[in-house]
Homo-oligomer: A and B are copies of this chain.
Amino acid sequence: MEVPNFLIERSHQVDEALDRLLPGADQRPQSIHQAMRYSTFAGGKRLRPALCLEAGKVAGAADQELIPVACAIEMIHTYSLIHDDLPALDNDDLRRGQLTVHKKFGEAIAILAGDALLTRAFQILSGFDCIPLYSERRLAAMREIACAVGTVNGMIGGQVADLEAEGETISADLLQYIHSSKTGALIRASVRAGAVMGDVSETEIEALTSYGTRIGLAFQIVDDILDRVSSREVLGKTPGKDRSRKKATFPALFGLDDSRRKARSLVDEALRSLEPFGEKADHLRELARFFVERAA
């Protein structure tokens, strides 16, 4: 599936803002700012920011208010990749076809660059460079994001459970917990953070949450499938690592065919959740399809 046009536009919009919101590469101390920029501009598709922006648009929020939130989410995503790649964790040398941050800048700078991106995200969310117009809404978006990347049903919790499960035989329940926390929570929060920046009813938030939860899980299943079937060239990182490390994955537990079926049915459910929004949710629909068709 081709990358949808609006997603390309959104990613330009986000890249431009990220460039503005990150400290300059020539600012002291330079090494850390270079590392932050190296990792942020390594070619991500900006799916999470796009989800935030499009969910926010459905909720009637202005792009101008949404952009800092979307950028904060991408910075947090990038920090998680840097730390995940470290020798003490996944020990990866390549990410998106480039050297990982610790390979390029050394381990100390990689640890601190991750810390710095997480910190920068919260600087931005707290409005350090813009008038915090709608404080209540901004705090609500921040709550969504901060909770999604913590230890309790959040990203770090998922990473820890994933580490602990390496080499173990795990249940479908634990796999679902790992996936929904490690990657699912931030994807869902991207949608919800956008939504709470606008005006939405409780029912609409629930519908968008249901959408976000389902594409989040579908995304991770697809990622697992790609790790199994792709080449290094397509993947931009070493494929088959999940298997060689005996990582808990959907294909390992259910096989490739059932995993593909599961991803597709999750996307169908996600699309059904969007029904009440009519045409204005069309971009969210395209994103859902794009999430899963990478693994067709």
Contacts and interface: CB of A to CB of B under 8 A. Distances in A.
A112 B156 contact: yes
Contacts of A42: none
Nearest to A36: B151
A88 B103 CA distance: 13
Sort chain A's interface into a size bin: 35 or more
A64 interface: no
18 contacts: A28-B157, A29-B160, A29-B161, A32-B156, A32-B160, A83-B112, A115-B115, A115-B118, A118-B118, A118-B119, A119-B149, A123-B150, A126-B139, A127-B143, A128-B143, A132-B136, A135-B135, A135-B139
A192 B28 CA distance: 24
A132 B114 CA distance: 28
A281 interface: no
A146 B163 contact: no
B115 A88 contact: no
> Which of A114, A122, A132, A143 has the most CB atoms of chain B within a 10 A radius of its CB?
A122
A120 interface: yes
> Which of A79, A132, A157, A160 has the most CB atoms of chain B within a 10 A radius of its CB?
A160
Interface of A: 23, 27-29, 31-33, 36, 79, 83, 86, 88-89, 106-112, 114-116, 118-120, 122-123, 125-128, 132, 135-136, 138-139, 142-143, 146-147, 149-152, 154, 156-157, 159-161, 163-164
A116 B152 CA distance: 10
A88 to B, nearest CB: 4
Nearest to A33: B151
Contact of A142 (B32, B36, B122): B122
Contacts of A27: 151-152
Contacts of A86: 111
A119 B150 contact: yes
A269 to B, nearest CB: 26
B115 A83 contact: yes
A143 B115 contact: no
Contacts of A149: 119
A-B pairs with the 4 shortest C-beta distances?
A88-B107, A135-B135, A126-B142, A29-B160
Contact of A112 (B106, B122, B146, B160): B160
Contacts of A118: 115, 118-119
A23 B126 CA distance: 24
> Which of A32, A126, A142 has the most CB atoms of chain B within a 10 A radius of its CB?
A126
A86 B31 CA distance: 19
Contacts of A138: 139
A147 B164 CA distance: 34
